[in-house]
Structure 1
Amino acid sequence: MKTMIRLFFLGIVFIFPQAAEAQLLSLSGYVKNFITGEPVENAAIYEADSGIGTITNKDGYYKLLLQKGEQRLKISSTGSESYNATFVMVSDTIISVELKPLNFSGNSVVAGNKVVKDSVFENENSSSTKKRR
């Protein structure tokens, strides 16, 4: 009987630490459109090394269960630039991103059928007026 109890406790000492290492952590967040702020539905989220992945729901929400340690996260959606990040997971983590559309150029705004540039000094000769005496 004493031998059985000793084997039981010995088994717990060696098995329990290995089970604790296999603990999964939660990675969750939201994916939104950079310009509109609207949720991105069906964006693909996956960890590059393990291949574990999911897609966002209609609210742009996702959740993955991953191992502790270094993770290489990739988030992509049709018509948008991909988001890549490498980080170390030590606890449950929230990562929310805004994906930029592929045709997005941060230096101009389309207003109606005219393009308005951010820079006042677009071309030195284009709109300068000089007074002659």
Structure 2
Amino acid sequence: MAVAAGQPVLLPQPLGDPSPHHCGTCLGAKVTPPSATVTPVQSRAPTVSCIHYKFSSKVSCDTVTFHGLNIALGNLKQQIMSHEKLKVANCGLQITNTQTKKEYLDDNTPIPKNSSVIVRRVPAGAVKAPSRARIL
């Protein structure tokens, strides 16, 4: 197969779905042959990532989308509250990882893309109770 200089070549599409959230934008990526002159290629839009969340009292899950590999807990809470039309003054959110059952506490904690979390509404300004109780 002959390729004209400066013309991009389409790579064959891989078989199967490489990940459960694969959107297909990387299929058919264009590559310039080394013998040809390099022409500028338009940059692609940033990848959209998502986090699936479910309120403990609901049956269905919802999704928050963002750009990047992870999202800070504080930003995730803000997006969930705006999506659910909740007011910060009325309540806070307690976020727990669905698989590990670990509660995220620090608002700067990065939560990786494609994670699933459970959300609980708590009273505004609520402090988590200590894990140990002393009996006297």
Pick the TM interval, shorter chain: 0.3 to 0.5
Give the TM-score, by structure 2 length: 0.39
